[in-house]
Amino acid sequence: MLLAYIDESYTDTMFFLGALVVDDDAARSIEGGLDALVAEYAGQFDVPEDAELHGHELFHGKGDWSRLSIRQLVNVYDRAMRVIGGAGATVAIRGLDIVKQKRKYHDPYPPHEVVLSQLLERVEDIAARQDSCVVVVADEVHNEERHRTNFRSYRRDGTPGYRRSTLPHVLDTCISVRRSTAACFRRSTW
């Protein structure tokens, strides 16, 4: 079983979603490594023990990381990326130029929907290559119910676009856990 942690980054002109896809060993390794990194900085630099490694805060020296110098912030960021890279995680990133999309289409789909469907296709590819199923974990968003509806549609009709997929390796934790899990266990080699 794989986990795909999805997070977004955006400006007024660009929208990105990234997925960190891990198996259970990688997830444990990353969790332990990042916890140790935060504990080290909490002990030495007055960073709160429960500080989170948010990219925005680290990049801008804000929040829990505001007391660190630029050099220290770069070091934390670098070490966090090394923990993730060393664990054997797979990263998938998809993005959209919002300005170009608006120029090209009269009534464009919301950027989050376009990029999410493309990212889910890539997560599906990763899970299929590993002959495993994947559970997607994402932050809550303001139109969460619409995304659930879209996901159900993707499972039934396929994702939109030229790489159409019904995402057979992505578990639908909303409506069909038993059906998807049973299919996954039949395919799995464990």
Q: Output the pTM of the full model.
A: 0.82
- DSSP states of 126-152 as a string? HHHHTT--EEEEE---TTHHHHHHHHH
Q: Mind listing the pLDDT tens digit for each residue in 53-70? A: 988 899 899 999 999 999
**Is residue 117 pLDDT above 60, yes or no?**
yes
Who has greater pLDDT, 61 or 173?
61
Residue-level pLDDT at 144 = 64
pLDDT at 179: 42
- Chain position carrying tokens 């469907």: 117
User: Residue 74 above 90 pLDDT?
Assistant: yes
What is the pLDDT confidence band of residue 169, given thresholds at 50, 70 and 90?
Answer: very high
Q: Is 181 helix (H, G, I), strand (E, B) or coil?
A: helix
